[in-house]
Amino acid sequence: MNLMRIMTSAALSALLLFMTACGSGSSNNNGTGAGTGSKESASSTEGAAKAGTSAAPVPIDYGLYCGKECQEALTLKASPDSIKGKVGFAVASLTFPYGAALKSRTEEAAKKYFPNMELLVGDGQNDPSVQTSIVDDFISKGVQVLIINAVEKDALVPAVERAVKAGIKVISVDRTVNTKVLTTIKANDLDLGMNAGQSLVTLLNGKGNVVELQGSPSASPTIDRHKGFTDAIAGSPDIKVIASQHANYDQAQGLKVMEDLLQRFPKGQIDAVYTHADMMTMGALQAIKAAGRQNEIKLISIDGMQTTFDAISDGEIAGTAVYPVIAPMNVIAAAKALVGEPMPEFIKLESPVVTKENVAKYNGTTY
Stated length of the chain: 367
Q: For residue 191, what is the enclosing H or E element?
A: helix 189-203
Number of CB atoms found within 10 A of residue 55's CB = 7
Closest CA to 185 of 272, 41, 71: 71
Q: Which residues contact 321 (CB under 8 A, 6 or more apart)?
A: 192, 193, 195, 196, 199, 301, 302, 303, 304, 351, 352, 353, 354
Instruction: Give me the pLDDT at residue 117, please.
Output: 98
Give domain limits for the chain: 68-187+325-350, 189-303
Closest CA to 128 of 147, 146, 148, 152: 152
pLDDT tens series, the chain, 367 aa? 433 343 344 443 443 333 333 444 333 333 333 333 333 333 333 333 333 445 677 899 999 999 999 999 999 999 999 999 999 999 999 998 899 999 999 999 999 999 999 999 999 999 999 999 999 999 999 999 999 999 999 999 999 999 999 999 999 999 899 999 999 999 999 999 999 999 999 999 999 999 999 999 988 899 999 999 999 999 999 999 999 999 999 999 999 999 999 999 999 999 999 999 999 999 999 999 999 999 999 999 999 999 999 999 999 999 999 999 999 999 999 999 999 999 999 999 999 999 999 999 999 999 9
Residues 329 and 66: beta-carbon distance below 8 Å? yes
Q: Mapping DSSP to helix (H, G, I), strand (E, B) and coil, where does residue 243 land?
A: strand
Q: Mapping DSSP to helix (H, G, I), strand (E, B) and coil, where does residue 118 land?
A: strand
Burial of 263 (0-12, 13-18, 19+ CB in 10 A): exposed
- Residue 174 has, within 13 A of its CA and on its CB side, a CA count of 25
Alpha-carbon distance 95 to 360, whole Å?
28
Instruction: Give me the pLDDT at residue 56, please.
Output: 72
Q: For residue 176, what is the enclosing H or E element?
A: none
- CATH classification of 189-303, choosing from 3.40.50.300, 3.40.50.1820, 3.40.50.2300, 3.20.20.60? 3.40.50.2300
Closest CA to 232 of 274, 270, 260: 274
CA quadruple 98, 103, 66, 72: dihedral positive or negative?
A: positive
Judge whether 68-187+325-350 and 189-303 match in fold: yes
CATH architecture of 68-187+325-350: 3-Layer(aba) Sandwich (3.40)
| pTM higher than the cut 0.95 | no
